[in-house]
Amino acid sequence: MPVFLHDTMSREKRPLLPKPGRDVYGMYCCGPTVYGPAHIGNFRTFTVQDVLRRTLEVAGLKVKHVRNITDVDDKTIRGAQAVGQTLGEFTKKWTDKFHADCKALGLLPPHVEPSAVEHIPQQVAMIKALVDRGHAYVAKDGSVYFKVCSCPDYGKLNHIDFSKLETQSENSAGEANDADEYERESASDFALWKSRKPEDGANFWPSPWGEGRPGWHIECSAMSLAHLGATFDLHGGGIDLCFPHHENEIAQSECATGVKGFAAHWFHSAHLMVEGEKMSKSKGNLYTLDELVAKGFTPMEVRATLISGHYRSSLNFTMKGVDDSRSALAKLERGADRLLAAAGFTRAEFAAPVAQEVQTSWGRFAKAWEVLQDDLNIPGCLGQVFTVLAEKDEPSAEQARQDVSGLAKILFALGLQLFAAKAEVAIPVDVADLGARRWAAKQSKDFASADQLRKDLAALGWTMLDRKDGYELKKS
């Protein structure tokens, strides 16, 4: 059975299969803008996309995963100038940081990772095609705009009525877009090429319309065309990119090439909330991976939290949720240990299967795999996994071997790595103080105070393990 996934355009679940005549599944995902460290909201999208790719590979598909790097836009240019670096120096630093975080979170590297700067000639060529075909026009200052009214089916991804479209100042997440303050014929038209401005500094390139730089939307169209062709199988991104970015990609791509069906399937993941609130710099809840590791969590615990909800539903990321993920991973490890012992395998032999060498045996985890194949239902899949692991009857050696095979493939698809080294959890000063006071109370046989202090520790989420020569504080 193929993997089925909700398609944003058709609003239906559809099977994910390569286009007829192709044996490779082409998957394009909008990547990061490298002007600073990516935050957990970004990584929710990238992690869910990673699970989709892994799931497709376990299902037997050969995937070509393309994820771009946006290394030229207002943010990267401002950031480079603020620290006195060239654009290339500045974006390389943050690209390297992004790669390091991806590796820590267990994300498979894309097969192709094009950068916007490296594809400016391709962008210029696509803009020229749009101008020549009458889908774009040149303003007096040399900027070039896409003429939205020239695309009759504009709005088909988001099911919007073009006649009612007055502006592109707000995206599909209800957030403000940075306005393009350039001369244009209609408020709904968008920039393909931005003429050189003093604030751009040395960051400009030649074009038939004068020096300048590309608009954001044209970048992905040019890079996907270069690496996947005029049509490909799946395009992914966060829900905030659905409009206008992805809508504009469809319009400019299909108008430039004359080929309909830019992407056969559209895959969007929902928002991430933090402790019940929308993420924002002003609230201080745009957590990076480094900040969460500093709180004592491992990258794998963060990954488990980011995939703990269904991708189409908003996920509320909480510190308690990461604690719960720690407990869930420990539970998975205990269950895997039981199966390994029954099968006669060691932990060292518990490795994820090579995706192309798909085994037919799923053991008792066949239902978990079926659930995952149905719209990437990760919570439902994990629920089935824990149901199997909770069964009290010990499996036979043969059954256990089949179960190990099935569990290994499920965990590979989810990207969850077991038996990894745990991070040391920093003990807060107030917790350490309570622990010291409780130990002193117990040593002086003031058991009433010792009991109360243990309760105070529990209220803060800590337990105290007494030993003959001292004690140990552990996060609950």
pLDDT of residue 38: 97
pLDDT at 465: 81
Looking at residue 468, its pLDDT comes to 60
CATH number of 274-414: 1.10.730
In this prediction, residue 360 carries a pLDDT of 64
Position 335 scores a pLDDT of: 95
First to last CA, the chain: 41
What tokens does 388 get?
Answer: 């199997």
pLDDT at res. 469: 62
- pLDDT recorded at residue 354: 41
Ranges of the chain with pLDDT below 70: 163-185, 351-360, 421-426, 467-469, 476
CATH architecture, domain 4-269: 3-Layer(aba) Sandwich (3.40)
- Tell me what pLDDT residue 356 has: 38
Q: What is the pLDDT of residues 21-39, one digit of tens each?
A: 999 999 999 999 999 999 9
CA of 107: how far to CAs of 201, 300, 476, in Å? 35, 11, 28
Strands in 212-214's sheet, in edge-to-edge order, are 136-138, 144-146, 190-195, 212-214
Q: What is the pTM of this model?
A: 0.85
Please give the pLDDT value at position 314: 97
Query: 213 pairs with which residues across the strands?
Result: 194
pLDDT of residue 357: 45
Residue 66, burial from CB neighbour count under 10 angstroms (0-12, 13-18, 19+): buried
- Residues 142, 194: contact at Cβ < 8 Å? no
